Amino acid sequence: MIAQFILPLISLLLFCFCVGRTPIEVPLAVVNEENPPYLSEIYINNINKQIIKVTPFQNLTLALEAVKQTEVWGLLHIRQNFSDSLIHRTQHNDESFDNETLRNGTMLVYADLSNKILSVTLQRALHEAVESFIVDSLYELNYSPQLFDLPIKVEQSIYGSYSKGDYFALRDFSIPGVLIILSYTIAFGLTVMLLTIEKNDQMFERNFVAGVSSTQIIIAHLAARVVFMSINVALLLIVSLLFFNVPTRGPIVWAILLLFLQSVTGLTHGMMVSAICTNVFMAAILSNGILLFIFIVSGVLWSIESMPHWLRWLSYLQPTTIPTESLRCVLSRGMDITHFSVFSGYIVTIAYIITFFFISVILFRNEKND
């Protein structure tokens, strides 16, 4: 019961709390040499203080040393003639100012790029601050902000939405895959463990002597596990939707049905593995290898489009890859069963259930004959 209900819930909670969240209070050293500060202060005020923790430094050398000592993750240097140089650049053509004016009107960043997640967070947050800074500065100088709009505009999105500050959106991307993997893994692991223990305790031999066939044993296990798996699937989905604001734009019934079928797939896969293994130790090693491989290549944490072409075919052959994309289509895009992107996940899942079931029956039947 603990493995069936508590472990998946704890795994889901830990993933939602620890993975995919935007870093907060990333320390950034700021050396502002402008005195009195004018436009530079407007920019600093536009920095998202939840994401970046601004740490003022009076000396550029000390700030650089703080970056080297990993006390801060970057340094923003604003020179003393920043406002005058920037205003001069906006009011005159390119031939009226030299390289020194251009440099004085540019904020310089010295960053620690060893941590890509934090470096991208700093870069995106500083760029967003620039966009707000340009609008506020142009209003301050009595200019129209539209003069400096970029010649590209993102119209209303077809699917999904853009949230300012949510730079990676890894949690929303990964949650469907995590739900699939948890449903599959728990059913797979428990089935392998229970059936292998029953084999070692010679429960199968006693059933065979009593006249029970291998098909009846497998069907009985399926019937017994289905009730518990239904509760587990509903619990995982409710927690992820209600407590972590996972987008649910499509019919929730199709998501529940797909997770339930994935649990049945894991169950039948576990039956097949337990029929192959002769003891618990062998079953544990084989199960860990299978589950780790499926987790890595199924595109749960990262898009499969980043894989080499020869590896994508291997990924698509896994029982969780296409269903993961189907669940994303239901939750994030609002599609239903009539779309092929969703329908294909059910086809793959049912095909694997049938395949694993008949292989398990054949293997247990051969074991009975032996």
Identify whether the C-beta of residue 109 lies closer than 8 Å to the C-beta of residue 75: yes
Arithmetic mean of pLDDT over the chain? 84
Residue 4 lies in a domain: no
Q: What is the pLDDT of residues 329-364, one digit of tens each?
A: 998 888 888 899 899 999 999 999 999 989 988 888
Nearest to 87 by CA among 161, 141, 37, 14: 141
Q: Rounded to a whole number, what is the distance in angstroms from the first to the last CA of the chain? A: 34
Residues 82, 194 share a domain: no
Do 284 and 243 lie in a common domain? yes
Looking at the structure, tell me whether residues 279 and 229 fall in a common domain.
yes
160 or 172: whose pLDDT is higher? Answer: 172
Structural domains in the chain (count): 2
Q: Which of 115, 148, 181 is the last residue of a domain?
A: 148
Q: What is d(CA 222, CA 3) in angstroms, rounded to the nearest whole number?
A: 17
Q: For residues 45 and 181, state if they share a domain.
A: no
Contacts (Cβ under 8 Å, ≥6 apart) of 328 = 173, 176, 177
- What pLDDT sits at residue 168? 67
In a domain, 187, yes or no: yes
Residues of the chain above pLDDT 90, percent: 23
Q: E strands along 1-158, which residues?
A: 26-32, 52-56, 74-78, 108-111
Determine which of 50-59, 102-111, 192-201, 289-298 has the lowest per-residue pLDDT on average: 192-201
What confidence score (pLDDT) does residue 370 get?
A: 57
Contact at 8 Å (CB) between 298 and 324? Answer: yes
Instruction: Show which of 101, 117, 148 is a domain's final residue.
Output: 148
Tell me, yes or no, whether 182 and 74 share the same domain: no
pLDDT of residue 37: 86
Q: How far apart are CA 15 and CA 214, in angstroms?
A: 39
Predicted confidence at residue 46, as pLDDT, reads 92
Output the pLDDT for position 360: 86
Predicted local confidence at residue 167, as pLDDT = 66
Q: Are residues 119 and 198 in the same domain?
A: no
Distance, CA of 30 to CA of 60 (rounded, Å)? 9
Same domain assignment for residues 135 and 189: no
d(CA 286, CA 281): 9
Residues 205 and 139 reside in one and the same domain: no
Cα–Cα distance between 268 and 188 in angstroms, integer? 7
Domain match, 132 and 254 both: no
Residues 73 and 139 in one domain: yes
Q: Is residue 11 part of a domain?
A: no
pLDDT at 310 (0 to 100):
87
Q: Residue 122: give its domain's CATH number.
A: 3.40.190
Single out the residue in 97, 115, 148 at which a domain terminates.
Answer: 148
**Rounded CA separation 232/229 (Å):** 5
Please name the residue that has the structure tokens 């289905």. 226
Tokens of 28: 């950034």
User: Residues 353, 207: one domain?
Assistant: yes
Would you mind telling me the total number of residues written for the chain in this entry?
Answer: 370
Asked whether residue 48 is domain-assigned, the answer is yes
Task: Assess if residue 249 is contained within a domain.
Answer: yes
Domain that holds residue 205: 170-369
* The pair of three-digit structure tokens given for residue 170, joined into one six-digit string: 């890894």
Q: Is residue 71 part of a domain?
A: yes
Residue 20 sits at the vertex; the CA angle it makes with 336 and 304, to the nearest 5 degrees, is: 55
* Beta carbons within 8 Å of 208's beta carbon, 6+ residues apart: 214, 368
Rounded Cα distance between 243 and 240, Å, is 6
Assigned domain for 83 exists: yes
**What is the Cα–Cα distance from 269 to 319, expressed in whole angstroms?**
10
What is the Cα–Cα distance from 368 to 370, expressed in whole angstroms?
5
Whether residues 181 and 45 fall in one domain: no
Quick one: pLDDT at residue 61?
A: 92
| CA gap 88, 70 in Å, rounded | 36
AA identity, residue 136: D
Q: Is residue 162 part of a domain?
A: no
